[in-house]
Structure 1
Amino acid sequence: RNSCSTNNGGCEHICEERRNRFYRCRCRIGYQLADDKRKCYPVDPCLSGNGGCQQHCVNNNGRAECQCYAGYYLARDRQTCLDIDECKVMIGGGCQHDCINVEGTYKCVCKKGYQLSDDGRSCEQIIEGCKVANGGCQHECYDQPDGGALCGCRDGYQLNDDQKTCSDIDECLSKNGGCSQICENTDGAYQCSCNAGHILLYDGKTCEDINECIANNAGCEHECINTEGGYLCKCRPGYTLAADEHTCNDIDECLINKGNCSQVCKNEVGTYHCDCYDGYVLTEDQRTCISQFIRIFTLEQSKKLKRIMLGVQEGN
């Protein structure tokens, strides 16, 4: 007795005998063997390349079944969809006048002097062009020699596909409407504006930087530096810019290493100076203090040296 003869070998679908009493399980078309090598689960063929279908794929018990959208029919290869010429199949598509086939559908058109009715198939005569309800035009209406009407739109609008209504043209979509910075579309027109720190010129399109420093130094206490679209305040040496970014506060240089003074540092508005204790004097670097007795001695020695040097020169 072989293995497949008992409970189908445990296989959910097909049990296939092999040599030496071995067997294996297989699945029917549209199914795939599970990890346990016995059970089968359905595979959706539409998930791979749309099942080979050009348009719509339907999973039919594990097989890909191709279907077409309205206005198309399935070709002989059962995958490709071809356009239905409704004007031929439906004998004029049910149009009263002319039928024009388009991809996936069709449309009815009327002869001159007639217009398409609301049913999209029948045609009704146009009466006196623009005299009745402005010819159906939303904006401008122009009488035609055949009694019909031709619609037009005002500046800033374009004629829609129905050849009657008008929709706004967004001028900002084309080269930003010619605006150098901000373009804002409005109904039938558009408007240019500028970013902060700029002003619109007389052409109504170009933006130019505003020099804020001209008016009252832009509120800066010391220096005002104009930048593109703004400005910066700057303080003179010895000052630091306050949190309001306009006011300048004195820097107390004496707080940092006593302003490099060897003895006494005295802060002043916008600057500082070094000083010495009693009995000391400042050297030429205006920072170092030495004893005034050493300075007197140094000066006397310097004078003697100069006299000696002069004597040597005279002897020569």
Structure 2
Amino acid sequence: MDVLRFVWLVLLAELRISAGQVLGCRHGQWQCDDGNCIPHVWRCDGDGDCLDGSDEMDCAAAAAPGSPQCPPGQFACVDSVGCVDASARCDGQYQCPTGSDEENCTAANGCLGSDWTCLNHVCIPKEQRCNGLTDCVDDSDEKDCGVCVEGSVRCPDGTCLSPEEMCDGKVHCSDGSDEPITCGRICSMNNGGCSHVCVDEPWGALCACPAGYKLSANGAICEDVDECATPFPPCMHLCTNTIGSYYCHCREGFRLNGNSSCLATGNVTRLLTVQRRSVGLLNVKSQQFEVVQTLAFDPVALAFDAVRGRFFWADSRGSIYKSDGRQSWTTYTGQL
């Protein structure tokens, strides 16, 4: 169960406890056997959302194989029981038990000329093809990415050019990497124009960069890589970028363990909790409350993502927020 669903369920439970009674579910909701309410679209979606698991019981009657009885925005699995989100249809991942959500998928024609089409029809920039990272959900962008022969270069779309196609006056790669400014140069003269490593090739000077740098678009200058700005930063808590590298540091009350992990100092157990309009850490031994975040409205539910070091809370207006302890973001705004 993801964090947002957890926050939703805790929020509903808190409202029922505060009301002192079990209320009927609103329009668009489904009532669990234990009295809690969940969005109706979560019924028979393959993920247990009721604390008693009742939302995944008797699903054969709720959605017969291939029937149109799935909630709006969902796809009815064929020859099996259950519904999946319509967005999961033809995304390259089998989510129906029989894989019917990936059958009879037609190729998408919406990719731009600067995009590369994944096998699951997702569009990604050509520059992300064969970059060592899985950008397509099905990993098709990293398949058939063998090492190019010596003296050649790989284009963003994964194509390997021959040495003869390098610096021939024609742009073959979408990023122009086959026509760098170092064409016709030699490393013995001004390092071939390279800012760092230079290797002589038949077509000219091939520039290379040390770890922590990437080659600029002109093929000569090495630029710093901001490791802290990547989608998944290398540090558990805080990350500071440096020229050619980075370093990790931890929040107060933690110490760095190795290069990136943070461990709590001492043996004091602290609980993440709320008091009035504040989220903070409660020292179990001393009962001292340390404020981490001051909130604008009364929180009614709280959850913590231990992997990413972020906590989520919902307020009495129905909005959900997240924070890393330094800044916060609104992830959902709506009515209960």
Higher helix fraction: Structure 1 or Structure 2?
1
- Does 1 or 2 have the higher relative contact order (CA < 8 Å, sep 6+)? 2
Q: Could you say whether these structures have the same fold, taking a TM-score greater than 0.5 normalized by the shorter chain as the test?
A: no
Relative to its length, the structure with more strand (as a share) is 1
The structure number with the bigger radius of gyration is: 1
Q: Structure 1 length normalisation: TM-score?
A: 0.30
Instruction: Give the TM-score taking structure 2 as reference length.
Output: 0.28
